[in-house]
Amino acid sequence: MKIQVLGGGAWGMALARLLAGYNHETHLWVHNATHAEQLRRTRRNEALLPGITLPETVSVTQTPAEDPSMAVYAIPSHALRETARLCRFEPETLRVSATKGIENDTLLCMSAVLHEEAPASKVAVLSGPSHAEEVARDLPACVVAAGRDDDVRKHVQDIFGGSTFRVYTSHDVMGVELGGALKNIIAIAAGACEGFGLGDNAKAALITRGLAEMIRLGNACGAEAATFAGLSGLGDLVATCSSRHSRNYQVGRCVARGMTLHDILASTPKVAEGIRTTKSAMLLARKHNVEMPITAAVYKVLYDGMDARHCITALMNRLMRAEWE
């Protein structure tokens, strides 16, 4: 099968390597000309995915392949719409979003953005705990393929599934996407918790209460609560809130060191989706009148410059209540 992967970052490289390993005709579209040439020449990107060599069978280009059966989007969420407009495919090409985020301006999840840009095409989502650094080394991972149609999600499952990359299916597209996006915000808070040395009890409470507010917003947006107990919710949340590979977790650790958002963004070429998602989540919470205290605290620290320790104290001093109230 001819598959076009869009995005030359760590996740795009990892997915291209995975698909090429299944003997699919795999093309990798890279937006930046310098990065594309380097990847063609060396087959490596030490800054984003150190120690990993892209197979020679993967075609690295700046021009999308003609008539691929599947287009896999592994790019930053803020660039998804622009990329969908720049790289046009036939309606028959199945679009698969492997991007986790919520568009700031429209508050749409990524599959909805693709639906708007290609209304005649089928769209699926691939999400779950899957750090590129581990997938690229063939370490075991389990993810979820979500889609409106059973045949679409089963097809994605068949294409991506293998001995080290197990794929489950779900019909709850909204739940799968919100889980993948919102957990990045909680990971920023978890990184700060670790950076301040607040201990395992605090981190466990943070993750659990973070999940509770993810479910509240998910329910308000039409998602199913049970989805958040699965791989794309709790699974991804646990991985992202505890891993050295997590960019959002590292953002939180930077916050604990007193770095400003400007300093954090300037310190790394990597994209931490939770930074932008925090804005979208707060707007969604206000729209649906949903209480999200941890998300609100992260927003205040990142965008209002509030002291993180003050936010922690404020969270602990909130009115006590029943756990599932």
Structure tokens at 155: 């097809």
49-53 long-range contacts, Cβ below 8 Å, gap at least 24? 49/10, 49/13, 49/14, 49/132, 49/133, 49/136, 52/13, 52/14, 52/17, 52/136, 52/137
Q: Which letter does DSSP use for residue 10 in this model?
A: H
Q: Which residues are catalytically annotated?
A: 183
Sign of CA dihedral 262, 281, 7, 87: negative
* 3-state SS, one letter per residue, for 175-226: HHHHHHHHHHHHHHHHHHHHHCCCCHHHHHHHHHHHHHHHHHHHHHCCCCHH
Transcribe 104-163 into DSSP letters: TTT--BHHHHHHHH-TTS-EEEEESS--HHHHTTT--EEEEEEESSHHHHHHHHHHH--S
Structure tokens at 12: 């795009």
Distance CA 301, CA 4 (A): 39
